[in-house]
């Protein structure tokens, strides 16, 4: 926090005060929702992060909620273009520290977040139940991808040699949080392990399992647990980064 002494004059009398302001520039966080979801799912976490002194940006991918386009025609390239545009909008905010931008992605949004890290600087990446897709048929509308082929791909160990998202993860040098749902019916454990293995060059990697949670995580108890976990992790990461940026010892 920045502090400044202030003098006020009231009825000819002097008052002294101290103005305490948040440190600027501040961290920024981009939220990327899943396929079939919308930004409303991220409002709660975004508001909580804003209270921690971060600037947050949520948005609807094209073909979802308030955004244009027919979802049945949207390709993965279209979605990646949307995420890049959203990142650039956030990074242009006058309060944002461009060296302190994080991305928080869920499912398909986690997959897109991994891809984004190869195109834009990202310091922190939080992925909840990140999806995984074979690179083949990249320009085929996402809704038309063969679901059985995708399911089979996720059930086998994958690495960066044949996967764009995992290649981006292998090159990532920031801090990572992966949150897995114990009862996930869409993303098997093998896909989670593929992501974890790919992040071998990350500055730090935290992995959490939400016991009893499904992929969509509709249970309010699981939602609260995830929100608490996410906020604590980000608070820890941001505090550590500020100490490092000041050249202070990073103590816990």
Q: How confident is the model over 113-147, as pLDDT tens digits?
A: 999 999 999 999 999 999 999 999 999 999 999 99
Residue 188 CA to its chain's centroid (Å) = 20
Per-residue pLDDT at 245? 67
Q: With 90 as the cut, is the pLDDT of residue 189 above it?
A: yes
As to burial, measured by CB atoms within 10 angstroms (0-12 exposed, 13-18 middle, 19+ buried), residue 252 is exposed
Per-residue pLDDT at 112? 98
Query: Which residue(s) pair with 6 in the sheet?
Result: 17
Spatial CA neighbour of 57 closest among 99, 116, 101:
101
Spatial CA neighbour of 44 closest among 236, 234, 227, 229:
227
SS3 166: helix
Q: For the chain, which residues make up each domain, given as ranges?
A: 23-245
The fold of the 23-245 domain, in CATH, is: Rossmann fold (3.40.50)
Contacts of 178 (CB under 8 A, 6+ apart): 127, 130, 192, 195, 196, 199, 205, 206, 207, 208
The phi, psi pair for 74, rounded to 5°, reads -80, 125
Q: With 80 as the cut, is the pLDDT of residue 20 above it?
A: no
Q: pLDDT tens, 49-72? A: 999 889 999 999 999 998 888 999
- Which secondary-structure segment (H or E) carries 194? helix 189-198
């Amino acid at each position: 926090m920045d502090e400044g002494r202030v003098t006020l004059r009231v009825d000819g009398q002097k008052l002294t005060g101290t103005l305490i302001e948040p440190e600027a520039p501040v961290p920024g966080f981009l939220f990327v929702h899943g396929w079939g979801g919308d930004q409303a799912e991220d409002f709660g976490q975004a508001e909580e992060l804003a209270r921690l002194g971060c600037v947050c940006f949520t948005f609807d991918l094209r073909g979802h909620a308030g955004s244009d386009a027919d979802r049945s025609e949207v390709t993965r390239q279209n979605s990646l273009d949307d995420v890049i545009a959203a990142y650039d909008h956030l990074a242009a905010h006058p309060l944002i520290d461009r060296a302190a931008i994080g991305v928080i992605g869920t499912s398909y949004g986690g997959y897109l977040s991994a891809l984004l890290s190869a195109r834009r600087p990202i310091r922190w990446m939080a992925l909840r139940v990140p999806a995984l897709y074979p690179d083949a048929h990249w320009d085929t509308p996402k809704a038309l991808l063969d679901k059985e082929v995708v399911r089979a791909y996720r059930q086998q160990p994958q690495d960066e040699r044949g996967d764009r998202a995992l290649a981006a993860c292998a090159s990532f040098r920031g801090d990572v949080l992966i949150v897995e749902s114990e009862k996930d019916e869409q993303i098997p454990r093998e896909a989670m392990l593929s992501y974890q293995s790919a992040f071998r060059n990350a500055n730090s990697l935290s992995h959490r399992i939400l016991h009893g949670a499904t992929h969509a995580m509709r249970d309010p108890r699981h939602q609260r647990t995830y929100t608490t976990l996410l906020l604590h992790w980000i608070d820890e990461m941001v505090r550590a980064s500020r100490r490092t940026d000041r050249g202070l010892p990073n103590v816990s």
